[in-house]
Amino acid sequence: MVVSGCGRSPPLLIAGGRVFVFPCIQQIQRISLSTLTLNVKSDKVYTRHGVPISVTGIAQVKIQGQNKEMLAAACQMFMGKSEGEIAQIALETLEGHQRAIIAHLTVEEIYQDRKKFSEQVFKVASSDLVNMGIGVVSYTLKDVHDDQNYLSSLGKARTAQVQRDARIGEAQFKRDAVIKEAHAMQEKISAQYKNEIEMAKAQRDFELKKAAYDVEVNTKKAESEMAYQLQVAKTKQRIEEEKMQVQVVERTQQITLQEQEITRREKELEQKLLRSTKREQWWTCCWRNSHWLVHLNF
């Protein structure tokens, strides 16, 4: 709302809200702050290489109510105009900038890099419309076409190029695959030979170590057998010695017994002789004394 008249110099600008107006001495006018959607068409515009193309863009614009300077500029420019008239002015401005940018670019640049084209239109149009108090919210390139089939030919050429690159890439891929397969096979064979050599070396080392272990085991076994036989011989010798000692002891005991027996017999003989001698003496005595009949029973 724009309030002008008595007591309102400069006019009072209110972006939404309420205001008290004195009838007859003050005047209130309105200007839309709504976002406007513009369909920006540029038909048969010649590009830098002279190719006519048609471009359609979609822009969102609105009068900036938050910026007092831009709002004042918009009120000066569009006060008393309808929303459609404001949209038409903004549309013509955008369409003019869109045509100017198309004329400085090639078809390929516009078609292949739409983002860059949209950014250029947005930048140039924003710098111009801001002086009118209008801000460009967004701009997007919607459609690009021509009546000369240039884009179609460009697409076919690009398609052919892509197909060619695809065939080349496929051929290169197959070539690389064959090379890699050959390298892989070579590496596989080399690895197999290397593995066989390593296995042969391992087998040789195993056999050498086994032979050395066998010699050591046999030596230890022979030494053990010899030690066992020696121990057996020593044991037998010790047994024989012990047997001899036993025999010696037995023989000594036998000799002792024999000596004791001889001594006993000698004593018996001595006693017999003594008794015999005594008997003879007694008989002699008896004989001498003539009492032999008395002692006959004795």
Q: How far is residue 179's CA from residue 168's CA, in Å, rounded to a whole number? A: 16
Asked if 7 and 115 sit in the same domain, the reply is no
Question: Is the alpha carbon torsion for 168, 169, 174, 176 positive or negative?
Answer: positive
CA distance 143 to 141: 6
On whether both 43 and 129 belong to a single domain, the answer is: yes
Stretch 137-148: mean pLDDT: 82
Of the listed ranges 54-58, 94-98, 106-110, the least confidently predicted one is 106-110
Residue 292: is its pLDDT beyond 50?
Answer: no
Residue 28 has pLDDT above 80, yes or no: no
- Same-domain check for residues 21 and 76: no
Q: What percent of the chain shows pLDDT beyond 90?
A: 0
Most confident of the following: 60-69, 148-157, 206-215: 206-215
Is the residue at 24 inside a domain?
Answer: yes
Range from 1-15, 43-57, 116-130 carrying the lowest mean pLDDT: 1-15
Using the 3D structure, point to which of 105, 124, 148 is the last residue of a domain: 148
Q: Does residue 171 lie within any of the structural domains?
A: no
Q: Give me the mean pLDDT over the 83-112 stretch.
A: 85
Domain closes at, from 148, 183, 198: 148
How far apart CA 74 and CA 131 sit, in angstroms, is 8
Does residue 56 sit in the same domain as residue 72? yes
Residue 251: inside a domain: no
Q: The tokens 């003594």 sit on which residue? A: 274
> Where does the pLDDT of residue 297 fall: very low under 50, low under 70, confident under 90, or very high at 90 and above?
very low
Domain membership flag for residue 121: yes
Does the pLDDT of residue 16 top 50, yes or no? yes
Q: Which residues form the domain of 25?
A: 1-30
The answer to whether residue 135 is domain-embedded is yes
Same domain, 134 and 39: yes
φ, ψ for residue 66 (rounded to 5)? -80, -30
Average pLDDT of the chain is: 78
pLDDT above 70 (res 126): yes
Is 114 part of a structural domain of the chain? yes
pLDDT above 80 for 56 = yes
Residue corresponding to tokens 């000594």 = 252
Give the model confidence (pLDDT) of 163-207 as tens digits: 677 778 778 888 888 888 888 888 888 888 888 888 888 888 888
CATH number at residue 115: 3.30.479.30
* DSSP structural state of residue 45: E
The answer to whether the CB of 121 falls within 8 A of the CB of 35 is no
Q: What value does the mean pLDDT take over residues 91-99?
A: 87
- Indicate the SS3 state at residue 36: strand
40 and 26 in one domain?
no
With beta carbons less than 8 A apart as the criterion, state whether 111 and 55 touch: no
The separation between the first and the last C-alpha atoms of the chain, rounded to the nearest angstrom, is 193
Q: Are residues 25 and 40 in the same domain?
A: no
69 lies in the same domain as 20: no
Cβ within 8 Å of residue 282, ≥6 positions away: 295
Q: 68 with 139, same domain?
A: yes
37, 134: one domain: yes
282 against 190, higher pLDDT: 190
State which of 91, 116, 148 marks the end of a domain.
148
Please count the other Cβ atoms lying within 10 Å of the Cβ belonging to residue 30.
10
- Structural domains of the chain, count: 2
Under a CB-based contact definition with an 8 Å cutoff, are residues 90 and 156 in contact? no
- Domain contains 214: no
The yes-or-no verdict on residue 68 having pLDDT over 80 is no
Indicate whether 250 belongs to any domain.
no
Let me know whether 26 and 56 are in one domain. no
